Every structure is written in structure tokens, then in C-alpha cells.
Amino acid sequence: MGQSPTTLPSGRHRRLRALAAAVLAGALLWAAGPAADAVAAPETRTAVPAQARTAAAAPGDDWLHTRGNRIVDAQGNEVWLTGANWFGFNATERVFHGLWSANITEITRSMAQRGINIVRVPISTQLLLEWKEGRASVPSAVNAYANPEIAGKTTLEVFDHWLALCKQYGIKVMLDVHSAEADNAGHFHPVWWKGAITTEQFHAAWEWVTARYRGDDTLVAMDIKNEPHGGAGESPRAKWDGSTDQDNFKYACETAGKRILAINPNLLILCEGIQIYPKNGSNWSSTSAADYHSTWWGGNLRGVRDHPVDLGAGNDQVVYSPHDYGPLVAPQPWFTGDWNRTTLERDVWDPNWLYLHKEDTAPLLIGEWGGFMDGGPNQKWMTALRDLITEQRLHHTFWCLNPNSGDTGGLLLNDWKSWDEEKYALLKPALWQHGGKFVSLDHQVPLGGAGSTTGLSLTDVYGDGGGDPDDTTPPTAPSGLTATATGSASVTLGWAPSTDDVAVTGYDVYRDGAKVTTAPVTGTAHTDTGLTPSTRYTYAVRARDAAGNVSAPSASLAVTTASSGGGPAGGLKVLHRTTDGSPTDNAIRPELRIANTSAASVDLSAVTARYYFTRDGGAPTVSAWCDHAVVGCAQVRLRVVPLSAPVAGADAYLEVGFAGGTLAAGRDTGDIQLRMSKADWSPFDERDDHSRAPSSAYTEARTVPAYTGTALAWGAPPA
């Protein structure tokens, strides 16, 4: 079913008003300080062309291409692009925002150390043309005191310096033509031409920047145009069809893509969606909004089913890139009523863009998503999309690093140095990690740079090979399959990892002989939902490698879902996830949310939840801590209670309660991140714990019972 916005995304106006105010405030702040005398006067310099090099990929280069819905490196290893946006080059200042107070090297290094492996850089056609014509100027919005390494440099020289920093710290870069003109509000213009900037100049700007950097595999992707849009009856507006009309964004993306790939055939070409697409029986001549499916600017890729982007020999470089936002950016019909992730996926994401991933048509990179942590609907949307990204392994660049984004805020706080730890905690599970470290898209440089303690290179993950088309050796079959009925309609599975002569890239889950996962599971756990109560199901799992080899199935395992009758009184629900991939280390790190499913507010002081676990020898005393809670750790009460007699999967439980407060109907507590360790720091073995959920995404956890007073309201303790 098509969705039509009630309004245009008016929240973007708020973003730019706040952005402009922050620029002015930042400029006044540093101009009054010691940097004032150090800032060089604006000047114009002649751009120096980069040295020409062949664009053919050489061994060890980091160029990427696509295979079905995956992005892979030259050896065929699957990679995951997980990044963020940093804007400013698109704006009037013509340089990254924030350099009026913070240091460019420190910001870049901190992004790498925290797992940002690609940065999407909005830029304008106007600035690219200025660079092309040798008219790069020294920006006034750079604090020379805070940034001595770029003092007096032109905007182009600042960009080149930053590319070198990205190479040093293992970050890759994507350019995004955000607007035709260098203007803080330039992205409101719906198309890629404006005034003196013609469509041909738009293409020429792309050709110039491609040629300049064609030998540098730090720059790996080009996002052809940010958020082409326009509603019914508006002019100009972007459409998507099979024509060669000027306003057909499909044709514009094809033209730009072919001209870029003629210079460097190794670049990823990102084509965003538009705003509206005609419903069946309608066409682009209609001026009635009722005749169109409508969604966020850049988020409508329905037209790809009828008119896919065709780059000929370059089709394996095409990536589709929708944008998606929450209700604080603009009210939308899909955020009314009893909405949740299921309704968003069914009514908005699937028909507009997610079908491309599920049908293995092409990779998706969600170029913009993010927002304020409001503890309410916006955070609910953001968590739902984060979970989708993580489960489906969708590529993405979070909006944004900048705290001066008026309707979303940023990952950085207003000092441009401190991180918003609550927002980062939400994002972190969607950043590529392997063995507890962040993964670079560079084969030689770990994310964070040489000697990084937080990052890995692709060679660290895959070795020197992988993805070889001559690789015909399948992975070993998964072992140790476990299956737990987590209610009347879901089963949670877990298994031990397979091994492969190159690398295992994912797992397929089978129920009663039929594959039930639309994309390979990247971890060693999966929750199968939508099941029938009191029904016996048989499961098996197969492993995959980068060459497409599939293992023999695991040993099958049967499980019966719970009946739908009887049970707890209701009113509460517990959601649980595990982002700790080490079930045998010396800490248990459950993450919980407690939801009020009743029609009335709940007194949190009467609510408790019990997380059951085994202590597994060593010291019997276990301590518990709250590491983070949306409600505040000061409001969380914890105690570890040993059982009088051990039962299957538990000899103790962690009781989670609250000092006070109320939980409104239909709301949840937000994340509660907990940690337990024994007095002697000896290891646990969580693999058989009653309450452990192997899923890295929040799922309903009936193995974590919840109580109102002494009455069981959710789940069941171990028998």
C-alpha cells in the first residue's frame, strides 16, 4: 500500500536554520579567541591537478563492486559499509562544519576509532566547478588556532589533506552532490540543475572530480545526487521512468554513472530514490497527489522494479541509496496509530526500497538516517531501522556527525569533541565488528590507523585471499544447534560457528526443509517469528562462504511452540539482546527493555524482571552493574539472587527493578545495559543459560520473566 506524506519534510527547514545559527555562533566564538589573528585573509589559488594514474585495479587495491545484494572487494570478500555523514562542503562555508572549534585530525581519528569505516561527504556542484576552474578559496570558517595543519589552505587543499587523514586512519570516502549551489539550504531545490548550473555542468563536475582522484582508492563511491524530489503538479520535480527527459533522475544517474565509470570503472555508483511514483493506472502527467505513492525525499525506489538503472558493463557498480527519517523530522501517516517495526517494514520500507535487497536485485546503502534520542516515537523508529540494518546487514551512513543538524542532532555534542554516548550506543551495533573490533574497508590499514587497538583491516579478517571464483570448498556444517521456544509464535536458534578455508560469510536457516531467511544471517543466532502456537517445527542451518559454496546442513532439531492460552497475567513485555559475542568470557552483559503493553500507566517501583543464568564454578558471589540506561542508572535497582536449588539453565538470577517513576501505556524503558562478574573474575559459560538471547537485535524474551509486585506478568522462570 502506498504512503503519502501529510506534509513535505518541513523538519529540514529546522535543520538548516539551526545549522546557520551554529555557524555564526561558532565563528563568533573562535574569532574572539587566540585564533583571530592566525586566520589568513580569503584568497584565491589555482588548483593543481592530481597526477594521472591508471584506473585499473591492482592487487591490494581497495576498489569494490557488487554481487547480487552484496558489496564485495576485488577478491570476492563481502564487506559492510557502515559510516556517517559530515556536512559543510555543500554549504556556504565550502568546508567541513565544526572546524571553527575542533581539530580536523582529532575528529577524523575519533570516527575511525569508533567504527566509522566510510564517510559520506555532501558537496555542491558549484564548489566542484570552482575547483575545476582553479578558483578554490581559503575558507573563513576554519579556526587556525585549532587547526594549524590546515591554516591558510584552500577548500580543495583542506579536502586533500582530509583524504590523506582518511587513508592514514583506514576510512573510505563517498562524495555526494548534495545541491547545485553552495548554499546551506541548497538541498531544498528538487533537481540537479539550477540557474547558471546546467545538467551538462553537473555531469562535467562529476567527470572532473573522478579524474582528479581516479588513482586514489580512498574515494570509493559517488552518490550522484542527494534527495531528488518534487510532488504532484510541482515544477521542476524529479521523476523516474524510461525516458531521456531532463527531469528523469534514472536517466541522470545513468548518464553520470557511465561518464564516471568511463574514467574510473572501479567506483561504486549510488542512485538515490525520488519522492513520488505513479500508482498503477496513473502516469507522470497527473497533478493529483492521490495518483502517486509518496515517501521521504530520496526514499522512493519503486520505479527500479519497472525501470532499473542500466550502466551496461558497469552494472556491477550500482548501489541504490534510499533515505529514511523519523517523526521528529516530519509527521507521516505511517507514524500514526499502533505502528511498529512490522508495520514500517510492511507499509514503507518493503514497497519503497527493501524489496531490492530481499529479492537479491542490488545492494542498498541507506545514505541518511538518524535523529534525536527522545525516549519516544523518534527513538522507536531509529531503533527499528537500526535493527533492520543490523539483521539484514544493510550498508548505511548515519546522519550525521554534525551537532548543528537542527532536526536530528549529531553524534558529536556541541563542543565538536565529545560524543553523544547514548546515540552512539544505539548506532554501535550497526557498525561492522569482528571479534570485538571494528573493521576497515582497507586491506592494509586497520580502522584507527597503524597500531590501532580498536580496529582491523580486511586482511586481518580475510587473510590475503577469499572470494576466489575457483574456490569450490564449502564450509563445515554448523554444529551445536539449539532451539528455544520463546513464546507461542517464535523460536530462537543458536549454533556454533562453521569454519572455511577462506571465510564464512553467513548462514541460511531452514524450517521443515524450507529456507526461511531472505538474506544470510551474519551471526550465529536467529529468531524465527510468525509461528503457530502448540506446533512442532524442525530446524537446520547451513553455512555459506564468499564464493557461494554452501555447507551440508547441521543436525536437525525439533522444538514445539508454547500454547497461546493461560500463562502470565500480561501488561508487561521484556525485550532482550546480546551484543557481546563472547559467551565464555568473565562477564555477562544482558541488554533489556521492559515495555508496558497495557492500556494504563505502570508504577515502575512495582516492576521487576529476572535474568536467569548459571555461575559455572569459581567464586559464588556475583556483582552486577548498570552501564547505561535511558531512564538513568541511578533509577535502576539490581540484586543477584542465588536459587535454593539449581534448575536447567540457572542457579541464580539477576533481579532488575526501579527506584520509582511511571511507564506510560505503550511505552518502554529504553535500553538498560547491564553487566555481571564473579568476585574472582573467573569465566562464565552462558551458552546454556536460561535467559540468554543469542540475537544481537532486540527480540521478545519470555525467558526473562517480569513481575508486577509478586504477580507474574510476562514470561516464565526455568522449571
Any domain includes 467: no
Tell me what the pLDDT averaged over the chain comes to.
87
Q: Do residues 705 and 615 touch, judged by C-beta distance below 8 A?
A: no
Q: Do residues 573 and 707 touch, judged by C-beta distance below 8 A?
A: no
- pTM for this one? 0.64
* Number of domains into which the chain is organized: 3
Are residue 503 and residue 598 in the same domain, yes or no? no
Q: Do residues 461 and 434 touch, judged by C-beta distance below 8 A?
A: yes
Are residue 589 and residue 547 in the same domain, yes or no? no
Q: Do residues 706 and 609 touch, judged by C-beta distance below 8 A?
A: yes
Any domain includes 111: yes
Domain boundary among 427, 462, 497: 462
Domain boundary among 436, 462, 488: 462
C-alpha cell at 247: 527531469
Are residue 161 and residue 192 in the same domain, yes or no? yes
Model confidence pLDDT, tens digit, residues 231-287: 999 999 999 999 999 999 999 999 999 999 999 999 999 999 999 999 999 999 999
- pLDDT over threshold 80, residue 12: no
- pLDDT over threshold 60, residue 21: no
Are residue 368 and residue 499 in the same domain, yes or no? no
Segment 14-25 shows an average pLDDT of: 35
The pLDDT score that the predictor gives to residue 471 is 65
Q: How far is CA 375 from CA 238, 338, 401, in A?
A: 35, 17, 20
- pLDDT over threshold 70, residue 93: yes
Any domain includes 219: yes
Are residue 71 and residue 193 in the same domain, yes or no? yes
Any domain includes 83: yes
Domain boundary among 433, 462, 491: 462
- pLDDT over threshold 50, residue 46: no
Amino acid symbol at 588? I
Are residue 548 and residue 659 in the same domain, yes or no? no
Any domain includes 5: no
- pLDDT over threshold 50, residue 469: no
DSSP 8-state assignment for residue 157: H
The catalytic site residues sit at 227, 368
Q: How far is CA 554 from CA 42, 495, 503, in A?
A: 67, 9, 18
What's the rounded Cα separation, in Å, for the pair 575 and 591? 8
Model confidence pLDDT, tens digit, residues 341-385: 999 999 999 999 999 999 999 999 999 999 999 999 999 999 999
Any domain includes 472: no
Segment 281-295 shows an average pLDDT of: 96
Model confidence pLDDT, tens digit, residues 167-198: 999 999 999 999 999 999 999 999 999 999 99
The beta strands (E) that lie in 355-404 are given as 365-366, 395-398
**CATH number assigned to the domain comprising residue 307:** 3.20.20.80
- The sign of the CA dihedral 285, 289, 291, 293 is positive
Model confidence pLDDT, tens digit, residues 638-663: 999 888 888 889 999 999 999 888 88
Q: Can you give the residue range of the structural domain that contains 343?
A: 11-462
Any domain includes 1: no
Are residue 174 and residue 135 in the same domain, yes or no? yes
Any domain includes 202: yes
- Please state whether beta strands 636-647 and 536-545 pair in parallel, antiparallel, or not at all (unpaired): unpaired
